[in-house]
Amino acid sequence: MEKNKVFIETNEIVKKFGEVTALNHVSFQVRRGEIQGLIGENGSGKSTVSSIIFGMLEPTSGSMTLEGKPYRPKSPLEARANHISMIVQEKDTIDMLSVAENIFLGEESTFGKAGLVNTAKMNATAQEALKKVGMEDIDVTRPVCTLNYENRKMIEIAKALYYEPELMIVDETTTALSQDGREKIHQIMRTLRDQGKAVLFISHDLPELMETCDCLTVLRDGKLIDTIASKDFDENKIKKSMVGRELAAHLYRTDYEGRLGNTSAMELENVTSSGLSDISLTLHEGEILGIGGLSGCGMHELGKVMAGLLPVTSGQVSVSGEPLKNVRQAMSKGIGYISKDRDIETLILSESIQENLTISAWKQLKKWKFFILPKAEKEFSERQIKDLNIKCSSGRQMVRDLSGGNKQKVAFGKLIGNQSKVLILDSPTRGVDVGVKTTMYQLISDLKKKGFAILLISEELPELLGMSDRILIMKDGKVKKEFTRSAKLRDTDVIEYML
C-alpha cells in the first residue's frame, strides 16, 4: 500500500446532541503509514468524531470519504466491513458471554450453517486471535467477567485486530493498561503503520503521544485547532493549543514537607483477602498515601477491601478504631470510593448527572426523615456542576453521554456529596486531560489540607511521586517497600521494587 495516501477524510462534520454542539465543522485527513494522534480536553470532540468514523454515531451534517469514495457507515458492522476497527475508551465486552463469544459477537454465523454455530471452531479461532496480543494462555470459554480490567481490554484489542483493519482507532485504551500492556499496544500500532495501514490514536497522555505519533491533531470545544507534524512537537505549545490558555508550570504538589496528621483514619492489621496477603498499613488524617505496582500486584483489591467491597479472610480493617465489616458500614463511616472501572462500580450511566450527584447526599437533603424536595436536589447538583466545572447541557443530561473527564468529575462530586472523610481513589485521573488533571490534583491537595485521609492508587509513577506523602509499592499481593515524600525521589528508585 502507498504510504501517506489519504485513507479517510472528514469534511465539515457537525454533530449536535440537542442544543450542545459536540463537533463544529471538523475537517481532517487520516493517512496510511502514519500514527496520527488526536488530542484535546475532555469534551473537545475526540471520541465523538472517532465514533462517527466507526459508525457508532451519525453526523448531523457534513460528509466523509474513504479512499476517495463517499462513506457513511450506519453501524460498527458496516465500518468493520470497510476494514475499520475501533477500541473504545470504556468497557466494550458483555460480562456473561465467553471470551470467544465477545470476540465474534454479531459474527457467529460465519462459524456454522443453518443457524447452528460451530462452537469448537469459533473457540479455536478466538485462541488464534489472542495469540496476536500475547494472551494465548487465556481460556476462551470462560465468561469475560472473570477476567481483570486489563485482560478485558486486551481481548478488545484482539477482536479489533482479527478483522484485519486498514484503519485502527485506539480511543484512550492505554490508560487501562499496565506498562507492559501499553508497550504491547504501542508495538501493534507501529506494526500496522509499517505495513502501510493507518492508526488514529486518542490519548490524554501527551508524552506518550509525542513519543508514539507521526503527527498530532488538536481539537478544542468541538473545533479543529491544528495538525502538527512530529518534527514540530513542543509540549507547552501543544498544551496551550488544547486549552486555549497557559497551564500552570507545576502539575503536581510543590511542597515536600510530607507532614502527616497524628490521628489514624484507617488501619489494616495482617489483612489477607482475594489477591492480598498479610497487609498492614495505617492511613492518617491529612495524608495522601500512594499505592503503586504492576498489573496484578493487588493494589486494586486493596482499595476494594478498604471500601468494604471485598471480604477479609483473616486480619482486620479498622476505621477510627472500630472494625469495618461491609460496604454499608464503610459508607456510614464516611468512606468514599472511586473505582478504576467507574462506569460499572461508581456511576449509574443510565441516570442523569443530578441523580448521580444527589444519590449519595440524601442524608443532607432529606426532610422529615425520608422526603427530598426536588428544588433542593436541583440546587445541590447545580452547585456541584458549577464548582467542578462539569461540561454538560444541564443536570438532567444522562451521565453516559458525558466525556471521560466529566464522568470522573461526577464521581468526585458523589464523594463530596456523601461528605466522605476517607477517600479511596483508584486511578482517579484515568482518561482525563491535563486541564482536568490540574483541577483534580488541586482538589485532592485542598482536601488533604482540610484533614481528609486519601488513599491514591495509581499505575502512573509521576502521579504517585508528585502527589503522595508516602508511597507503598506492592508486588504479589504484599507491600514490598515504603517511600516517603522527597524532591530527590525518582521513578528509577521505585521501579526495581515492582519487578
Rounded to whole angstroms, how far apart are CA atoms 330 and 320? 11
Most confident of 40-49, 89-98, 103-112: 40-49
Rounded to whole angstroms, how far apart are CA atoms 203 and 255? 29
Rounded to whole angstroms, how far apart are CA atoms 300 and 275? 9
Give me the pLDDT at residue 111, please. 80
The yes/no answer on whether domain 6-243 falls in CATH 3.40.50.300 is yes
**Any idea of the CA torsion for 476, 142, 102, 310, to the nearest 10 degrees?**
-50
The CATH label, of 3.50.50.60, 3.40.50.300, 3.40.1390.10, 3.40.50.150, for the domain at 264-495 is 3.40.50.300
pLDDT band at 137 (very low <50, low <70, confident <90, very high): confident
Give me the pLDDT at residue 302, please. 96
Q: What is the pTM of this model?
A: 0.62
Mean pLDDT across the chain = 86
Residue 97 contacts by C-beta under 8 Å, 6 or more apart in sequence? 105, 143, 144
Low-confidence winner among 10-14, 175-179, 425-429 (lowest mean pLDDT): 175-179
Task: Give the residue from 304, 250, 248, 252 showing the smallest Cα distance to 469.
Answer: 252
Average pLDDT over residues 486-490: 88
Average pLDDT over residues 112-126: 84
Cβ-contact 255, 466 below 8 angstroms: no
Better-predicted residue by pLDDT, 455 or 117? 455
Rounded to whole angstroms, how far apart are CA atoms 161 and 294? 25
Q: Can you state the angle between helices 434-449 and 235-243, rounded to 10 degrees?
A: 90
Residue 242's Cα: distance from chain center in Å? Answer: 19
Rounded to whole angstroms, how far apart are CA atoms 135 and 425? 29
| Domain 6-243 matches domain 264-495 at the CATH topology level | yes
Residue 19 contacts by C-beta under 8 Å, 6 or more apart in sequence? 393
Q: Could you tell me the three cell numbers for 72? A: 457513511
Give me the pLDDT at residue 380, please. 84
Give me the pLDDT at residue 238, please. 86
Better-predicted residue by pLDDT, 334 or 269? 269
Average pLDDT over residues 18-33: 89
Helix-strand-coil percent breakdown of the chain, rounded to 5?
35, 25, 35
Give me the pLDDT at residue 88, please. 80
Average pLDDT over residues 288-305: 91
Give me the pLDDT at residue 153, please. 83
Average pLDDT over residues 182-186: 85
Determine how β-strand 61-66 pairs with β-strand 69-70: antiparallel
Better-predicted residue by pLDDT, 96 or 63? 63
Say yes or no to pLDDT of 196 above 90. Answer: yes
The helix or strand, by DSSP H or E, that contains position 153, with its residue range, turns out to be helix 149-162
Average pLDDT over residues 115-125: 86
Better-predicted residue by pLDDT, 111 or 51? 51
Say yes or no to pLDDT of 456 above 90. Answer: yes
Task: Give the residue from 206, 223, 227 showing the smallest Cα distance to 215.
Answer: 227
Rounded to whole angstroms, how far apart are CA atoms 236 and 163? 38
- Please report the DSSP string for 95-142 in residue order: TTSBHHHHHTTT-GGGGEETTEE-HHHHHHHHHHHHHTTT-TTS-TTS
- 499: helix, coil or strand? coil
Query: pLDDT for 57-68, tens place per residue?
Result: 999 999 999 999
Q: Could you tell me the three cell numbers for 86? A: 475501533
Average pLDDT over residues 273-302: 92
Say yes or no to pLDDT of 258 above 90. Answer: no
pLDDT band at 420 (very low <50, low <70, confident <90, very high): confident
Q: Which long-range contacts (CB under 8 A, 24 or more apart) does 246-255 make?
A: 247/434, 247/435, 247/438, 248/438, 251/434, 251/437, 251/438, 251/441, 251/466, 252/441, 252/462, 252/463, 252/465, 252/466, 252/467, 253/441, 253/445, 253/466, 253/467
Better-predicted residue by pLDDT, 489 or 259? 489
Domain spans of the chain, in order of start: 6-243, 264-495
Rounded to whole angstroms, how far apart are CA atoms 496 and 475? 11
Residue 26 contacts by C-beta under 8 Å, 6 or more apart in sequence? 10, 12, 13, 14, 45, 49, 62, 219, 222, 223, 224
Give me the pLDDT at residue 379, please. 86
Determine how β-strand 34-39 pairs with β-strand 198-202: parallel
Give me the pLDDT at residue 1, please. 55
Give me the pLDDT at residue 91, please. 66
Rounded to whole angstroms, how far apart are CA atoms 71 and 67? 9
Residue 55 contacts by C-beta under 8 Å, 6 or more apart in sequence? 73, 74, 75, 76, 77, 78, 79
Q: Could you tell me the three cell numbers for 366? A: 432529606
Average pLDDT over residues 423-430: 89
Residues in the chain, overall count: 499
Give me the pLDDT at residue 190, please. 94
Sheet holding 314-319, edge to edge: 276-284, 264-273, 314-319, 322-323
Better-predicted residue by pLDDT, 249 or 78? 78
Better-predicted residue by pLDDT, 294 or 426? 426
Cβ-contact 155, 135 below 8 angstroms: yes
Give me the pLDDT at residue 260, please. 66
Query: pLDDT for 297-326, tens place per residue?
Result: 999 999 999 999 999 999 999 998 889 988
Rounded to whole angstroms, how far apart are CA atoms 442 and 450? 12
Say yes or no to pLDDT of 247 above 60. Answer: no
Say yes or no to pLDDT of 249 above 60. Answer: no
Better-predicted residue by pLDDT, 176 or 225? 225
